[in-house]
Amino acid sequence: QLHLQESGPGLVKPSETLSLTCTVPGGSITSRSYYWGWIRQPPGKGLEWIGSIYYSGTTYYNPSLKDRVTISVDTSKNQFSLKLSSVTAADTAVYYCARHGRIASGRLNWFDPWGQGTLVTVSS
């Protein structure tokens, strides 16, 4: 089973940029069958897809966050990263990275597996 691992600061000040990294073991980040995604979950609430990236750098973002989100990939480190700018308390959440399936037509599908998640709190 693939084990994804999120890392990054657990506390970010309002108006600053949240930065997280997900490490994908074994070089599988360059698989042509998958994208790599970020999903978040505010405490006690539901799940929200943030965006996903292919090893080539192609990205798809949720329009609700698109103006503040940048997802990048570093295949040499088997990592992909999330940056969310101008954060507010509403961005406090557990942030998950996950493998995002891709079928031959290019359509993306489900998320499996997920990392354990990391709580990011936005507070001064």
Partner 1 sequence: EIVLTQSPGTLSLSPGERATLSCRASQSISSSYLAWYQQKPGQAPRLLIYGASSRATGIPDRFSGSESGTDFTLTISRLEPEDFAVFYCQQYGSSPYTFGQGTKLEIK
Contact positions toward partner 1, by CB under 8 A?
46-49, 60, 62-64, 96, 98, 107-117
CB of 42 to partner 1, least distance (A): 12
Least separation in angstroms between CB 96 and partner 1: 6
User: Are the C-beta atoms of residues 97 and 78 closer than 8 Å to each other?
Assistant: no
Sheet holding 18-23, edge to edge: 5-7, 18-23, 79-84, 69-74
By beta-carbon proximity to partner 1, the closer residue of 20 and 115 is: 115
CB of 109 to partner 1, least distance (A): 5
Closer CB to partner 1, residue 63 or residue 76? 63
Beta carbon nearer to partner 1, 76 or 104: 104
Which whole-number Å values give the CA distances from 26 to 30, 38, 72, 106, in the listed order?
Answer: 10, 19, 19, 23
Residue with tokens 């042509």: 32
State the minimum distance, in angstroms, from the CB of residue 43 to partner 1.
Answer: 12
Nearest C-alpha neighbor of 70 from the set 92, 53, 56, 54: 53
CA 21 to chain centre: 8
Q: Write out the two tokens for 99.
A: 């493998």
User: Is the Cβ of residue 110 or residue 123 nearer to partner 1 in the bound state?
Assistant: 110
